[in-house]
Amino acid sequence: MEYLIHIAILISIYSILGISLDLVLGFTGLLSVTHAAFYGLGAYATAILLTGYGVNFFVAIVLGMVVSGIIALVFGLVLNRFRDDFYALASIGFNTIVFSIFLNWQELTRGPLGIPGIKRPELFGYAFTSNISFLILSLVCAALVYFVSRYVTTSSFGRVLLAIREDEEAISVFGYNTVFYKLAIFVMSAMMASIAGSLFATYITYIDPSSFSIHESIFILAMIIVGGLANHRGAILGAVFVILLPEILRFVGFPTDIAAQMRQLTYGVLLIVFMLYRPKGLVGKYEL
């Protein structure tokens, strides 16, 4: 039972990451490979505020979102100059830079040692120490992200994003400031990823830079491509699929170090197979 709750918490955290990346990739057509950077910024902001300053979790989560949002604004301003391949490449660059800050700014992040002893969230004297209560908290967060995303994408704002994806020049001719729209959705997506980071840090109670490398960005990317782009349910389905699959492999009985590689192998193969035979993913509404 504890094990199932653990899986469910992971799925809800990754659903948040998937849904938020989908806003940028699926709905706006920007191949961002830097999502783990914002995920990490949220996690580190929360960890540092909780362990170093004793700030309440719910204040820290908001502060983390502010930090991620500001950084995303800066990155977004640069990224908006590029398209397609170069956009992807520059975003990989930003992920690497943020990752090396986590790794090397030792005074703040303790570098490769990571930050241990992060407390579970507390609200009005109630601590979310049991896993089941934490599951409820993360489900609430995931639901909030889901409904906000759905509201955004079904609004007129969302329709402009779709138009940017299909033909950016055409929509800018109609007088829409596409730079503003792309920037807004990028910042929004980064702030959502930061929520996932805050949850992750307080759930695991220990973070280190390796959780937020470029490989994590690729993992999130694989997840929503498998689930299907431009569909919130696709992102959730992808999270379920990509997290359950390696767990099943574990039951087959590989040794742990092989199992870790099997996870990588599985999602590499998934990416290739889906690109070759079903570029839309399981329930996607947009094909790259």
Partner 1 sequence: MGIVPQLIANSLIAGSIYALLALGFNLIYGTTRFFNLAHGAVAVLGGYAMFYLLKHTNMAVWVSAIIAVIVAGIVGYLLERFIYRPLRNRKASGLVLLIASLGAFTVIQAVIAMIFTSQFQTLSSAQSGLFHIGGAVITDVQLVIMASVLVIMVLLALVLKFTSFGKAVRAIGDDEEVSEIVGINTKKVIARVVFIGSAIAGLAGILIGYDVGLEPTMGLSLLLKGVIASIIGGIGNVYGGVIGGLILGFVENFGIWKISGEWKDAIAFGVLIIFLIWRPQGLFKR
Kindly tell me the burial class for residue 176, based on how many C-beta atoms sit within 10 Å of its own C-beta (0-12, 13-18, 19 or more).
middle
User: What mask of x and - would describe binding to partner 1 in positions 91 to 110, judged by CB under 8 A?
Assistant: -xxx-xx--xx-xx------
Binding window for partner 1 (CB under 8 A); candidates: 1-9, 65-73, 239-247, 269-277: 269-277
Please report how close the Cβ of residue 204 comes to partner 1 at its closest, in angstroms.
22
Helix (H, G, I), strand (E, B) or coil at 127: strand
C-beta closer to partner 1: residue 113 or 127: 113
C-beta closer to partner 1: residue 202 or 213: 213
**According to the 3-state scheme, what is the secondary structure of 46-91?**
HHHHHHHHCCCHHHHHHHHHHHHHHHHHHHHHHHCCCCHHHHHHHH
Residue 24 lies near partner 1 (rule: CB under 8 A): no
Kindly tell me the burial class for residue 72, based on how many C-beta atoms sit within 10 Å of its own C-beta (0-12, 13-18, 19 or more).
buried
CA-CA-CA-CA dihedral for 9, 10, 15, 16, to nearest 10:
80
Residue 41 lies near partner 1 (rule: CB under 8 A): no
Helix (H, G, I), strand (E, B) or coil at 198: helix
> First-to-last CA distance in the chain?
39
Q: How many CB atoms neighbour CB 3 within 10 A?
A: 9
Residue 212 lies near partner 1 (rule: CB under 8 A): no
C-beta closer to partner 1: residue 91 or 198: 91
Please report how close the Cβ of residue 28 comes to partner 1 at its closest, in angstroms.
13
C-beta closer to partner 1: residue 82 or 241: 82
Residue 2 lies near partner 1 (rule: CB under 8 A): no
**DSSP H or E stretch at residue 232:** helix 232-252
Residues facing residue 286 across a β-bridge: 229
Residue 245 lies near partner 1 (rule: CB under 8 A): no
Q: How many CB atoms neighbour CB 45 within 10 A?
A: 24
Q: Which of 45, 270, 284, 286 binds partner 1 (CB under 8 A)?
A: 270
User: Do the Cβ atoms of 242 and 226 come closer than 8 Å?
Assistant: yes
C-beta closer to partner 1: residue 13 or 221: 221
d(CA 26, CA 217) in angstroms, rounded, equals 15
Residue 272 lies near partner 1 (rule: CB under 8 A): yes
Residue 271 lies near partner 1 (rule: CB under 8 A): yes
Q: Which of 62, 245, 262, 282 binds partner 1 (CB under 8 A)?
A: 262
Residue 166 lies near partner 1 (rule: CB under 8 A): no
Print burial letters for 232-271: b (CB count within 10 Å at least 16), e (below 16). Answer: bebbbbbbbbbbebbeebeeeeeeeeeeeebbeebbeebe
C-beta closer to partner 1: residue 47 or 218: 218
Residues 48-87 that bind partner 1 (CB under 8 A): 78, 81-82, 84-86
Q: For binding to partner 1 (CB under 8 A), which residues are involved?
A: 31, 78, 81-82, 84-86, 88-90, 92-94, 96-97, 100-101, 103-104, 214-215, 218, 221-222, 225, 257-258, 261-262, 264-265, 267-272, 275-276, 279, 288
